[in-house]
Chains A and B, each alone.
Chain A
Amino acid sequence: MNAETACALTARDYKSDLKPVWCPGCGDFSILMAITMAMADVGRPPEEVAVISGIGCSSRVPAYTSCYGFHGVHGRALPLATGLKLSRPDLLVIAAGGDGDGYSIGGNHFMHACRRNVDLTYIVMDNQVYGMTKGQPSPTTPPEWDSALVPGGTGLSPFHPLVIALAAGANFVARTFSGDAKGTAQTIVEAINHPGFSLIEILSPCVTFRPEEREWAKQVHPASVDATEDRARAARRVLTDDGFNTGILYRGNRAPYQPAFKPDDAAKVDFEAEFLP
């Protein structure tokens, strides 16, 4: 990090002029703040950062930053981010979105992004519901959650993103809570600085369709143990915790996947030419 640039940039420099249209009280506001604080701390100027998302309330986040961004197709944040990072390794690439986007329609991409271990940071704003489409259950919704759209609940076991990330090969795994914006910002910084694929699962209340999630503020607690480098131990911990432990769970040491970049690659030059005026 260039010390002069780092001093000069503040969180405000990473905010766009667009005003978020999230519901007041939504956890995503604090996560946006955490992302901009983390960016200022890392110190890469906005034009060297790309924020890539799919579709959902949470996936609106690229538009609210001043970085380059791409608001892609539902569930496809990770393939877009992967392609970008492989062709432009000089950029800092952040993928972001919701539990529906990342674990449901994007579930397959999620597993393989962990497996490929490209140097990306993936921020999932998990509210255990599809917010944008008005409250359908997502893969992380508890089985007993009863609502007009799922009378009696789904009865289905929730997907366990952290365990799946560990099993599939992610190199950094953490859980934070949106209400702890500064702690979340620090974790994002650590994730960015850690090589390879980093998952940060952020519990982010959807106050409109899951108003009971406002109570998460009282339920979250920092994990009583430090991050481990042992994948199996991390998986055991997270399988047996109450789902509200926060902190960095796992720091691995797999080498990231980054094939050598060949600027004279003919296919790429042809492809780029299609987009140039």
Chain B
Amino acid sequence: MNAAEKPGNRETLLAHAYAIENEAAERYQDLADQMYACNNTEVGDLFAKLAEIEAKHAAELSLEHGAARTPMAAADYAWGNLESPEAIPFGEMHYLIQPHQALTLALAAEERALAFYTDVVNQAPTDDLRNLAEEFVLEEAEHVALVREWLQRYPEPEHDWDTDDDPPVQP
């Protein structure tokens, strides 16, 4: 399969789904660890919670569908050389990031995963593949709804959110 092609059968969809959920779980955990390392525990806890949810999803995939047993070569994933859709890029982080900003990034990541599965549904050549992709769409839509709900609990950051009383660069 060429990079940029959507998975065209059950096996490759499972491999993609497992990679998406597993990489998201690892990334959320890495981001949680980064936040704990600079004492931003509130955001660290949010990322850790998201890591747990994604890890559970990856474990379910592996258990129910044997997805982990169908790994593919890196070049065969539809996202080619890009990050898998549900991983927040490392470069987006800031040590003073606030929950609202962290959840906005998470929402974008969850929406990318939802869009990926939706595209598979729309392009599926068989009912079997469409049904499986629809399952993933439902699951991902739940994650999107959950992150949206969490987002409402946190105010948008003040304009001076990144002001540090002990800045790394002295003026």
User: Which residues does A use to contact B, with CB under 8 Å?
Assistant: 7, 12, 19-27, 29-30, 33, 37, 41, 134-135, 147-148, 178-183, 185-186, 205, 207-209, 214, 217
Q: Is B38 an interface residue (CB 8 A)?
A: yes
Known: A181-B83, A182-B74, A182-B82. A25 touches B90 (CB 8 A): yes
Contacts of A178 in B (CB 8 A): 91
- Nearest A residue to B84 via CB reads A182
Question: Contacting B91 at CB < 8 Å: which of A27, A134, A147?
Answer: A27
Question: Contacting A24 at CB < 8 Å: which of B74, B80, B93, B170?
Answer: B93
CB distance from B39 to the nearest CB of A (A): 11
Contacts of B93 in A (CB 8 A): 24-25
Contacts of B90 in A (CB 8 A): 25-27, 29-30, 33
- Nearest B residue to A21 via CB reads B37
Q: B168 contacts A24, CB within 8 Å?
A: no
- Nearest B residue to A208 via CB reads B168
Q: B37 contacts A20, CB within 8 Å?
A: yes
Give 1 or 0 for each of B26-57: 1 = CB within 8 Å of chain A CB.
10001101111110000000000000000000
Known: A19-B37, A209-B169. A24 touches B94 (CB 8 A): yes
Q: Is B92 an interface residue (CB 8 A)?
A: yes
Offer 27 A-B interface pairs, CB within 8 angstroms, sorted by A.
A19-B33, A19-B36, A19-B37, A20-B33, A20-B34, A23-B38, A23-B95, A24-B38, A24-B95, A24-B97, A25-B94, A26-B90, A27-B91, A29-B90, A30-B89, A30-B91, A33-B90, A37-B74, A134-B169, A148-B170, A148-B171, A179-B91, A182-B81, A183-B81, A185-B74, A209-B168, A214-B91
> What is the interface of chain B mostly: helix, strand, loop, or mixed?
loop
Question: Contacting A134 at CB < 8 Å: which of B82, B92, B168?
Answer: B168
User: Which residues does B use to contact A, with CB under 8 Å?
Assistant: 26, 30-31, 33-38, 71, 74, 80-83, 89-95, 97, 168-171
Q: B169 contacts A217, CB within 8 Å?
A: no
Distance, CA A205 to CA B34, complexed state (A)? 17
Distance, CA A37 to CA B80, complexed state (A)? 14
Contacts of B94 in A (CB 8 A): 24-25, 207
Q: A20-B37, A26-B90, A205-B91 are in contact. List 19 more A-B contacts (CB 8 A).
A: A19-B33, A19-B36, A20-B33, A23-B95, A24-B31, A24-B38, A27-B91, A29-B30, A29-B34, A29-B90, A30-B91, A135-B169, A148-B169, A178-B91, A180-B81, A182-B80, A182-B83, A186-B81, A207-B91
- Nearest A residue to B168 via CB reads A208
- Nearest B residue to A181 via CB reads B83
Q: B92 contacts A25, CB within 8 Å?
A: yes
Q: B168 contacts A25, CB within 8 Å?
A: no
CB distance from A183 to the nearest CB of B (A): 5
- Nearest A residue to B71 via CB reads A7
Contacts of B97 in A (CB 8 A): 24
Q: B89 contacts A179, CB within 8 Å?
A: yes
Contacts of A23 in B (CB 8 A): 38, 95
CB distance from A205 to the nearest CB of B (A): 7
